[in-house]
Amino acid sequence: MAAPESLTAATAQDPFRSFAPLSARRLLVLAGIAMILAGMIFGDIFAVFVLHQNASRVGASLRAAAEAALAGDAGRVQASFADVGAFLENRGTKVDTHVHLIGFGFLALLLAILQPWVAISEKYLRRLAWLLVIGGVVLPSGVFLIHYVGLAYSPLQAIGWASIVADAGGLFVMIATGGYLYGLARRLANPLRNKRSDHLLSAPDGTGRLLFAGGLFLVLLGFLHGAYYAGADLYRHEAADYNLLSQIASGASAGNSIQVGRALQEYGLLQGDKAVNIAAHAHFAEFGLLAMLLGFFQPYVSLRQIWKRRWAGILLLGSALLPVCVLLEMRFGLVAGGLADFGGLLVIVAGFAMWVGILRYTGALDAEMGRRA
Amino acid sequence: MSAKRVLLVGGIGVALLGMTYGLWYAVFAEHQALDGIGASLTAGLTSAAQRDQAKSAEALQRYRVAKYKYERQVDAHSHWLGLAMVLIVVGIGIDYVRLSRKQKLFLSWGLLIGSVLFPLSVLLQTVSAGPDPKILAVLGSALVILALLGAIVGVLRRPAAA
């Protein structure tokens, strides 16, 4: 295999040391991208197989509570709300698994970039990196299991084993992040250590610039959409939420089933409208950050320049397609939903291609190191 | 102080602010808020089932207030953390932005002030129903939007001829 462009560009400085086999940076980059991809694949599976079905069950339970109120059965109202709680817990733990895997992946990439400014020996950095990766996987896994494990065999009254395991994962991540912050503070406190350059950020890369610009643009779109939503819809939605629930309650009190049915239908549509707006806003921002972070690692992506550009373009296309189509879901239903999932798939495929490119880079780097030794 | 330092140190500071607030909120307020929302909604419909409209309306009013507060408290926390991440990432990549040192510094302070101000104004909406927090929110978000626009313009600029 010929020496890849990115290797020759970056070897001018010192990737052999900072990106050596089993180094903290290599671990954080490869594990960080893998965690982001795993979180996104989980999110796509959740969106296709769980999200809508779960929303239907929540809606059905709310309808059952309203019908019980209409029939004057206070006991059944409370039982129906207990069901709503269980469905919301199921949904909430799935969303948390998705969000935390991706969030810890972002954190791993961020710490990988900051590595040269962390004044701690490589041996301890490696331990902290492992701690972060283990905690970053254990916490979402524990959160995922909360709904299924419940309080079985738990030594505590209100917290189950899955929550305890998740909390332990969170503690690992906190210790690792605290260690990195301590290292950063040590470097800031010692001016002699401040003059430090990093081959990763100083290696010029056109694809990195493209991803940085595209990512900034996506974050800006997310913020503009959020500002528009806050100005045009947020207060209207909040008022409608209260008014519709009041109509359900007053209709049930008065025995007016038509009013209850109509209000329930509008309430379902309102929740859908709110959900797509929040999801679009969050995904614009998250994909923007992902594009910018991946942009910094482009010198490590050992692919031909044309393919690096193509994968960057596909990642940006998918990153824009998903939130735009999520927004259109209320109007175009499953077609828009399918396109949104396709957008997510494009991001996953492009991210995986970059991950493979980095893996190729490590292979080339290790071979070169072996040859020199 | 360089733009990079403003963004990196500011970003870490905003992240610590968001996490500290989140920790306090999770330990002392979140469960109570969620319990309040669930209990008031259940009470609203239970009272409706008992044909007690006054009690039902009162419970739903409690639900409205609790949900309004809860959503803003969570929004403040998540926006502080999200914007901290944006500050740090823009700080790392600030060399891609082809603007003068002074322009970059101006842009960095704008982004930092907006990132602190916007979530703070969202939080202030839970203690003041007046227009002031909303004006602050508009100001904070405008600062963030303008700073991001400035950064995009800087990244897209052609390099100056040597």
- Which residue, among B67, B85, B97, B149, would best test binding to A if mutated, counting the most A CBs under 10 Å from its CB? B85
- Start and end residues for every CATH 1.20.120 domain found in chain A: 204-373
Sheet strands (E) in A132-182: none
Q: Smallest Cβ distance to A249: which of B44, B92, B144? A: B44
Give pLDDT, residue A178: 92
The conformation of residue A19, written as its DSSP 8-state character, comes to T
The helix/strand/coil state of A88 is helix
Residues on chain A touching B82 (C-beta within 8 angstroms) = 285
The overall average pLDDT reported for chain A is: 88
Domain that holds residue B140: 3-27+74-156
Q: Smallest Cβ distance to A219: which of B38, B71, B148? A: B148
B61 found inside a domain: no
A215-219, A324-328, B28-32, B55-59: range with lowest mean pLDDT = B28-32
A322-326, A348-352, A362-366: range with lowest mean pLDDT = A362-366
Cross-chain Cβ contact A213/B141 below 8 Å? no
* Chain A: closest CA distance from residue B25 (Å): 17
Residues near A195 by Cβ (< 8 Å), separated by ≥ 6? none
ipTM of the complex: 0.91
Residue in chain B closest to A99 (alpha carbons) equals B78
In percent, the amount of chain B with pLDDT more than 90 equals 64
What's the rounded mean pLDDT across residues A95-110? Answer: 93
A37-74: b (≥16 Cβ within 10 Å) or e:
bbbbbbbbebbeeebeebbebbbebbbbbbbbbbeebb
Cross-chain Cβ contact B47/A250 below 8 Å? no
- Which residue, among B74, B86, B156, would best test binding to A if mutated, counting the most A CBs under 10 Å from its CB? B86
For the stretch B34-89, pLDDT in tens is 888 888 988 988 998 888 888 999 999 999 999 999 999 999 999 999 999 999 99
B49 found inside a domain: no
Cross-chain Cβ contact A285/B68 below 8 Å? no
Give pLDDT, residue A204: 65
What's the rounded mean pLDDT across residues A38-57? Answer: 85
B18 found inside a domain: yes
Using CA atoms, how far apart are residues A166 and A160, in angstroms rounded to an integer?
10
Confidence of residue A12 (pLDDT cuts 50, 70, 90): very low
CATH of A204-373, one of 2.40.50, 1.20.120, 1.10.10, 2.40.160: 1.20.120
Residue A163 exposure: Cα atoms within 13 Å on the Cβ side: 13
The conformation of residue A115, written as its DSSP 8-state character, comes to G
B84 found inside a domain: yes
Confidence of residue A203 (pLDDT cuts 50, 70, 90): low
How far is Cα of residue A222 from the mean position of the Cα atoms in its chain? 15
Residues on chain B touching A295 (C-beta within 8 angstroms) = 93
Answer whether residue A16 shows pLDDT above 80: no
Answer whether residue A1 shows pLDDT above 50: no
Angle at A91 between CA A86 and CA A93, to 5 degrees: 95
The conformation of residue A151, written as its DSSP 8-state character, comes to T
Confidence of residue A10 (pLDDT cuts 50, 70, 90): very low
Answer whether residue B26 shows pLDDT above 90: no
Cross-chain Cβ contact B63/A242 below 8 Å? yes
Residues on chain B touching A69 (C-beta within 8 angstroms) = 45-46, 48-49
For the stretch B106-137, pLDDT in tens is 999 999 999 999 999 999 999 988 899 999 99
Give pLDDT, residue A9: 41
Residue in chain A closest to B85 (alpha carbons) equals A289
Q: Smallest Cβ distance to B152: which of A70, A114, A220? A: A220
What's the rounded mean pLDDT across residues A189-218? Answer: 80
B48 found inside a domain: no
Residue in chain B closest to A286 (alpha carbons) equals B82
B94 found inside a domain: yes
Using CA atoms, how far apart are residues A115 and A187, in angstroms rounded to an integer?
11
Using CA atoms, how far apart are residues A93 and A52, in angstroms rounded to an integer?
15
The helix/strand/coil state of A333 is coil
Domain count of chain B? 1
Cross-chain Cβ contact B48/A217 below 8 Å? no
Residues on chain B touching A72 (C-beta within 8 angstroms) = 49-51
Using CA atoms, how far apart are residues B90 and B4, in angstroms rounded to an integer?
8
For the stretch A277-317, pLDDT in tens is 999 999 999 999 999 999 999 999 999 999 999 999 999 99
Residue pairs between chains A and B whose CB atoms are closer than 8 Å: 121
Give pLDDT, residue A198: 74
Residues on chain B touching A232 (C-beta within 8 angstroms) = none
Using CA atoms, how far apart are residues A271 and A255, in angstroms rounded to an integer?
25
- Which residue, among B89, B139, B141, B143, would best test binding to A if mutated, counting the most A CBs under 10 Å from its CB? B89
